[in-house]
Every structure is written in structure tokens, then in C-alpha cells.
């Protein structure tokens, strides 16, 4: 079993750990340097993607020391740590403020955004502001600053991500754990957003930023409240199965309870475009119903640190241990192989819908389904970040995740930094969204209508 939570599940995990009951104060000078040094060293020892990092990690650590020394508040200290680890450009390498800091400094107005055509589009609002901000409006300005400039300068530098698509997706989430997004800020402050409505009207709207634990009555189900499993029927006897998360085992239970109904389908659509991961085993338990023979699902490796080997590796006579001395020793590649379900194999064709929010364990599911003969992937590259995060407490102000496992496609092709590519590339457009059309789903439906049994 592989459990590799995305940062959403990291947050769920952290919220089960005894929380800091008070808002953290600025740590002492010594503690701030110790926090940075701890993060640097644990990353230096465990991170598995240094070959993809464009900065020198040691000199970068030294360059950040004056910054943490100059911090004047706890949140400023955390933001410096976030910028530091974000230079690794990996989605499972992040710094998350404590819950108290997140609630205060990660407040957002009741507006949900999604990237459509690479631009921030309003997909949900709290009741009461829908007339001012119609669904389908594009956010053009944030406090007078063009949205793309605001993202580049004030949001992206604090977010760990391995692809632009996933970084943009994270930057638009009001519930993201780093507590940095396009519209977020200090609780109780106001943000002025400039929008273009679906009718082409440009207007500015001032909105109050609300704490993440504020109850909001949404126009539609909020993304954070979506059920992890949904089944609906489309024309031509096509079953659409929305798998919105793999963080709970109940997603498998609900899928298997629905199998008698799903068996009647001419084709099946798995929609994992909103699935940010959880446990790989949950996705594989669902996918194994659609294969006839055992298939490799994932190849992975991790760094191997043995102190005595590291010591021996410094001697020319023991050159076999040299990789340990240089920090380049690895556990031999492991391959996860999934066997068909012994009780029920489904033979209808399958379409899997993917996109930049398809992330972590959801990418492992997608990688496995890409190998399944009856499955075809539609949409855009997945988020490009999968791997086991090592969770660490950073002083009194934050938690950190460091990617400690390198996942690859079964043939050794990297997922991180690239994502799993679709078999059929389809991009949603703003005009289609405003017209109520889902181009990715439509392409999958057309395919299954042709190929279905």
C-alpha cells in the first residue's frame, strides 16, 4: 500500500495533531535561523528531485539567512520559509502555516475560481453576491493590479508546484493550505476585483476576506464539500463516475456498492479532474476491475542514507560506498504491480478525464489506467507532482512537507514536472464554460458512444 497524501490530505493529517492553541508569535532570532537550517538540512537529506532543481541549495540557504533575521512577524517568517522551499519547484515540497496563522492570514472572499483557458474564471459564489459577480466572469484585476502580474509577483513565489498548470490551479484555490492565493489576505480586509462578466461588461467589486472556517452559503456545492464518489448516467447508457478524492477508503466501498448498476453501462467515464489525491491503493482498487492481467502501476525509488556507508565511502579502497558519501545512493527501483479483481472484471471501454488538478495519488491512478488496454485518457496533462511527502514540524509557526519518494511511470518516465499526458488532448475554453459545455466530457462521450459495447 502506498499512502502519499497531497497537501489537502497533509492538512487533514495536521489537523489531527494537537494544534497550537494560540496565534504563534515571532520566533526568536536563534529559532528563526534554526527553522531555516532544519528545513534546509532535512531537504538536503531526503528530497528526491535535486536533478530538476535550478538553484544551488547550499548557497540559497545562506542567502536566506539575512531574510529570516529581518522578519518582524510570525507570518512573515513563514512566508520566507515558503519562498525558500518553493524554489524546489515540486508540489509535495511545501511549508504550511499553523492553523491559527492560516485562518487569519489566508482569509478569502466567498468566490471560487478555476483556471479555464489559463485564466481565472469565477465558478461559484456565496449567495448574495451572484448579481455582482456572475458565474463565468473572468478576474482581470486584483486591487488594481492585473491578475497575471499579481499571480507572478505575489502568489506563485510562495507555492510549491512542478508544472505551471498545477501552480495556477493552487494559486486560485481559496482553501489551499499555504494560505496564499489570488484573492487571499488578512482576515477582515477587503479586496477589490476587476471582472469581465459573460455579457462583456467590466466592473469592479469590493469584497471582504473571510476566515476559512466561516460558514458560507454557496450558489453551488463548494469544491471542498464535493462527495468523494458520485455516479450519474449520461446518454447512450454511459456511466459517469466522479472520483473527487482518494483520501478515504469509503471511495472504494461506494464504488463497489455501485458495481451492480455500473455493470449495465455501455461505457464508463472516470472524472478525476478535481481529485487531489490521497492513497494510491484506493485508486488501484477501483482500476483493477478493468484489467484482465496483472499490470505494473508505478515505478518508484527513494534515497538511501546509511551513516556507516557514508563514512566508508570517503575511502578510495571502499569505492562501492562512494554514492553514500556523495548523497547519491538509491534504493533499487521498486515496481508496484496490480492484479485484476478476482470477483468482477468489467469489459466495457473506459474514458478517464484528467487535468492540472489531477494530482498525487490521482496521478498514480491515471498512470495505471493509461496502461489498461480498455482505458483512454482525455483532457490535459495531470498536475505533475506525485511522491510521498515527509511531514515535519517547523518550530512553532509551520509544518513542512518534503518529497521523499520519486514516482515514475512503469517504464521509468518521470511524472514529476511533466504530468501524465492524455491520449486525446482536449482543452476547455471560456466560451464553452459560459455556454454550459464541458468539451473534455463531450469528447469522451463521443468516443464511448462509438466504442461502447
* CATH number for region 107-208: 2.30.42.10
Model pLDDT, residue 255: 97
* Pairing, β 375-379 against β 424-425: parallel
Q: What is the mean pLDDT of the chain?
A: 92
What would the pLDDT profile of 55-82 be if each residue is shown by its tens digit? 999 999 999 999 999 999 999 999 999 9
Query: Is 2 a residue whose pLDDT tops 50?
Result: no
Query: Is 4 a residue whose pLDDT tops 70?
Result: no
What would the pLDDT profile of 102-160 be if each residue is shown by its tens digit? 999 999 999 999 999 999 999 999 988 988 999 999 999 999 999 999 999 999 999 99
- The answer to whether the CB of 211 falls within 8 A of the CB of 194 is no
Give the count of beta carbons closer than 10 Å to the beta carbon of residue 85.
Answer: 22
Cβ density class 130-147: b for 16+ within 10 Å, e for less: eebbbbbbbbbbbeeeeb
Alpha carbon distance 228, 104 (integer Å) = 28
Which percentage of the chain shows pLDDT scores above 70? 95
Torsion sign over Cα 43, 46, 48, 50: positive
> For the chain, what are the domain ranges?
3-104, 107-208, 223-294+339-383+423-451
Model pLDDT, residue 220: 86
Model pLDDT, residue 3: 38
Alpha carbon distance 286, 253 (integer Å) = 9
Query: Is 271 a residue whose pLDDT tops 60?
Result: yes
pTM score over 0.85? yes
Query: Is 1 a residue whose pLDDT tops 90?
Result: no
Within the chain, what is the greatest distance between any pair of CA atoms?
76
Query: Is 10 a residue whose pLDDT tops 50?
Result: no
Rg of the chain over Cα atoms, rounded to whole angstroms, equals 23
Name which residue leads in pLDDT, 69 or 20: 69
* pLDDT confidence bin for 21, thresholds 50/70/90: very low
Q: Which residues have C-beta within 8 Å of that of residue 257, sequence separation ≥ 6? A: none
Query: Is 5 a residue whose pLDDT tops 60?
Result: no
For residue 145, give the 3-state DSSP assignment: strand
Q: Which residues have C-beta within 8 Å of that of residue 278, sequence separation ≥ 6? A: 3, 5, 6, 9, 245, 246, 247, 248, 251, 360, 361, 362
Among 389, 403, 394, 391, residue whose Cα is nearest residue 33: 394
DSSP H stretches of helix in 263-314: 280-287, 307-312
Same topology between domain 3-104 and domain 223-294+339-383+423-451:
no
Query: Is 199 a residue whose pLDDT tops 50?
Result: yes
* pLDDT confidence bin for 453, thresholds 50/70/90: low
Across residues 71-98, what is the average pLDDT?
Answer: 97
Alpha carbon distance 102, 85 (integer Å) = 18
Residue 122 phi, psi dihedral angles, 5° rounding: -75, 120
Alpha carbon distance 183, 191 (integer Å) = 7
**Residue keyed to cell 462509438:** 450
Model pLDDT, residue 221: 81
Q: Which residues have C-beta within 8 Å of that of residue 260, sequence separation ≥ 6? A: none
Which superfamily is assigned to 223-294+339-383+423-451 in CATH? 2-enoyl-CoA Hydratase; Chain A, domain 1 (3.90.226.10)
CA 24 to chain centre: 27
* CATH number for region 3-104: 3.30.750
Model pLDDT, residue 127: 83
Query: Is 14 a residue whose pLDDT tops 50?
Result: no
Across residues 192-202, what is the average pLDDT?
Answer: 97
Cβ density class 220-249: b for 16+ within 10 Å, e for less: eebbeeeebbebeebeeebbbbbbbbbbbe
Alpha carbon distance 310, 323 (integer Å) = 8
Edge-first strand order for the sheet with 238-243 is 229-234, 238-243, 267-271, 350-354, 375-379, 424-425
What would the pLDDT profile of 218-239 be if each residue is shown by its tens digit? 988 887 788 999 999 999 999 9
Q: Which residues have C-beta within 8 Å of that of residue 167, sequence separation ≥ 6? A: 156, 159, 161
Amino acid at each position: 500500500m502506498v499512502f502519499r497524501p497531497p497537501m489537502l490530505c497533509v492538512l487533514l493529517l495536521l489537523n489531527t495533531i494537537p494544534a497550537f492553541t494560540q496565534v504563534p508569535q515571532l520566533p526568536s532570532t536563534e529559532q528563526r535561523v534554526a527553522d531555516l537550517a532544519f528545513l534546509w538540512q532535512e531537504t538536503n537529506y531526503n528530497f528526491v528531485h535535486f536533478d530538476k532543481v535550478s538553484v544551488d541549495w547550499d548557497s540559497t540557504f545562506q542567502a536566506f539567512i539575512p531574510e529570516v533575521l529581518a522578519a518582524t512577524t510570525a507570518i512573515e517568517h513563514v512566508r520566507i520559509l515558503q519562498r525558500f522551499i518553493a524554489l524546489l519547484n515540486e508540489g509535495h515540497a511545501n511549508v504550511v502555516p499553523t492553523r491559527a496563522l492560516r485562518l487569519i492570514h489566508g482569509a478569502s472572499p466567498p468566490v471560487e475560481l478555476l483556471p479555464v483557458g489559463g485564466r481565472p474564471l469565477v465558478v461559484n459564489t456565496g449567495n448574495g453576491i451572484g448579481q455582482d459577480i456572475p458565474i463565468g466572469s473572468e478576474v482581470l484585476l486584483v486591487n488594481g493590479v492585473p491578475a497575471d502580474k499579481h499571480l507572478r509577483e505575489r502568489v506563485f513565489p510562495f507555492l510549491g508546484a512542478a508544472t505551471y498548470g498545477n501552480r495556477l490551479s493552487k494559486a486560485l484555490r481559496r482553501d489551499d493550505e499555504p494560505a496564499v492565493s489570488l484573492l487571499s489576505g488578512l482576515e477582515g480586509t477587503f479586496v477589490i476585483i476587476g471582472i469581465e462578466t459573460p455579457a462583456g461588461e467590466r466592473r469592479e467589486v469590493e469584497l471582504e476576506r473571510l476566515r476559512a472556517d466561516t460558514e458560507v452559503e454557496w450558489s453551488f456545492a463548494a469544491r471542498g464539500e464535493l462527495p468523494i464518489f458520485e455516479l450519474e448516467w449520461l446518454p447512450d447508457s454511459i456511466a459517469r463516475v466522479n472520483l473527487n478524492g482518494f483520501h478515504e477508503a469509503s471511495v472504494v466501498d461506494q464504488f463497489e456498492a455501485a458495481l451492480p448498476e455500473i455493470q449495465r453501462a455501455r461505457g464508463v467515464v472516470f472524472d478525476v479532474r478535481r481529485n487531489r489525491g490521497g492513497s494510491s491503493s484506493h485508486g488501484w482498487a477501483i482500476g483493477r476491475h478493468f484489467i484482465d492481467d496483472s499490470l505494473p502501476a508505478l515505478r518508484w525509488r527513494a534515497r538511501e542514507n546509511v551513516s556507516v556507508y557514508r563514512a566508508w565511502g570517503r575511502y578510495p579502497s571502499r569505492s562501492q560506498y562512494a554514492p553514500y558519501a556523495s548523497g547519491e545512493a538509491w534504493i533499487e527501483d521498486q515496481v508496484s504491480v496490480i492484479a485484476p479483481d478476482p470477483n468482477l472484471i468489467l469489459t466495457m471501454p473506459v474514458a478517464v478525464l484528467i487535468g492540472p488538478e489531477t494530482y498525487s495519488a490521482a496521478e498514480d491512478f491515471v498512470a495505471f489506467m493509461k496502461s489498461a488496454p480498455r482505458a483512454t485518457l482525455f483532457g490535459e496533462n495531470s498536475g505533475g507532482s506525485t511522491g510521498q511527502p515527509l511531514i515535519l514540524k517547523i518550530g512553532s509557526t509551520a509544518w513542512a512537507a518534503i518529497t521523499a519518494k520519486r514516482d515514475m511511470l512503469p517504464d521509468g518516465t518521470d511524472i514529476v514536472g511533466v504530468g501524465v499526458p492524455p491520449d486525446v488532448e482536449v482543452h476547455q475554453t471560456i466560451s464553452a464554460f459560459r455556454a454550459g459545455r464541458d468539451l473534455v466530457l463531450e469528447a469522451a462521450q463521443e468516443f464511448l458512444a462509438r466504442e461502447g459495447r
